[in-house]
Amino acid sequence: MAKWGMVIDLDKCTGCQACTTACDMENDTLPGESWQDVLYYTEGEYPSGQMKWLPRPCMQCEDPSCVHVCPTRATYKDHDAGGIVFIDWDKCIGCKYCMIACPYGVRFFADEKPLVEPDLKEVFAGSGGQLWDPPGQSPDTDYRRGIGVQPKGVVSKCTFCYHRVKEAPEGVPDLDEDDPELVDYVPACVRTCPPKARFFGDLDNPASNVNKLIGNKNGIRLKDHTGNRPQVYYLGAGAGIPAFQPKS
Partner 1 sequence: MKNILESMFTRRRFLQTSGATGAAAFGAAGMAKLTGFSAVGAGGAAPSNAAAASNGSWKDLQMTKNICHQCPARCGINVYTYEDPSTGNRRVTSIYGDPGNPIANGKLCPKGHLGTYFLYDPDRFKQPMRRTNPNKGRDEDPGWEPISWDEAYDEIASRINELRENGEAHKIAHLYGRGWGPSDAGLYGDWGKLVGTPNAAIGHASICAEGSKHAKAAVEGNASYNSYDYKNTNYLLIFGAGFLEAFRPYNYLMQVWGHMRTKSPKTRVTTVDVRMNPTMAASDRYLMTKPGTDGALALAMAHVILTEGLWDREFVGDFDDGENRFSTGSTVDAERFEEVWTRGLVDWWNAELKDRTPEWAAGITGVDADDIRRTAVEFGSTRPAMAIFERGPTAHTNGVYNGMAIHALNALSGSMFAEGGLFYQMGPSYASGPADADDYRDGISRTMEGRYPRIDMAGTERWPFAGTMMQEVAKNHNAGDPYKLKMAMFYTTNPIWTAPDAPEWEKMMSEIFVVDTSPFPGETAKFADIVLPESTYLERLQDSPTYPFEGWPMTALRVPAVEPIYDTTEFGNMMIEIGKRIKGPTSDYYRQVDNVENLLKHLARGFEDDPGDNGVDGWEAWKEQGVWYKKPYHWKQHRGVFYEWDGEGYNIEMTEEEVREKLMPTESGKFEFDSSYLRAEVDYITQHLNVSRDRVGFPQWLDPEYTGGNRDLHFVTPKTPMTAEGRSGNIPQATALMQPSVGGNDRCYVEMHPQTARERGIKDGDRVRITADLGSIEAYVRLMPQNRPDTIILPYEHGHWAQGRWAEAQERATAPGNPNEMTENVSDPISGLAAYYTGRVDVERV
Compute the radius of gyration of the chain from its Cα atoms: 18
Stretch that binds partner 1, among 63-71, 79-87, 88-96, 101-109 (CB under 8 A): 88-96
* Residues numbered 147-166 forming contacts with partner 1, rule: CB under 8 A: 148, 151, 163-164
* Closest to partner 1 by CB, 157 or 164: 164
Q: Is 139 helix (H, G, I), strand (E, B) or coil?
A: coil
- Pairing between strand 107-108 and 156-157? antiparallel
* Closest to partner 1 by CB, 4 or 76: 76
DSSP 8-state secondary structure symbol assigned to residue 162: H
Sole binder of partner 1 in the list 80, 112, 167, 170 (CB under 8 A): 167
Q: Is 143 helix (H, G, I), strand (E, B) or coil?
A: helix
How many CB atoms sit inside 10 A of residue 246's CB? Answer: 4
CA–CA separation, 187 vs 174, rounded Å?
A: 12
The answer to whether residues 172 and 16 touch, using CB atoms and an 8 Å cutoff, is: no
| Residue count, binding to partner 1 (CB under 8 A) | 77
Q: Is 91 helix (H, G, I), strand (E, B) or coil?
A: coil
The answer to whether residues 218 and 7 touch, using CB atoms and an 8 Å cutoff, is: no
* Residues numbered 171-190 forming contacts with partner 1, rule: CB under 8 A: 177-178, 180, 183-184
Phi, psi of 216 (to 5 degrees): -70, -40
Stretch that binds partner 1, among 21-29, 59-67, 102-110, 225-233 (CB under 8 A): 21-29
Contact call for residue 11 and partner 1 (CB under 8 A): yes
Stretch that binds partner 1, among 47-55, 99-107, 199-207, 223-231 (CB under 8 A): 47-55
Contact call for residue 42 and partner 1 (CB under 8 A): yes
* Closest to partner 1 by CB, 29 or 211: 29
Contact call for residue 144 and partner 1 (CB under 8 A): yes
Contact call for residue 93 and partner 1 (CB under 8 A): yes
Number of H-type helices and E-type strands within the chain: 7, 9
Q: How far is the CB of 196 from partner 1 (least distance, A)?
A: 5
Q: How far is the CB of 215 from partner 1 (least distance, A)?
A: 16
Sole binder of partner 1 in the list 62, 77, 78, 133 (CB under 8 A): 133
Tell me the longest C-alpha to C-alpha distance in the chain: 55
Sole binder of partner 1 in the list 80, 112, 113, 115 (CB under 8 A): 115
* Closest to partner 1 by CB, 65 or 150: 150
DSSP 8-state secondary structure symbol assigned to residue 30: P
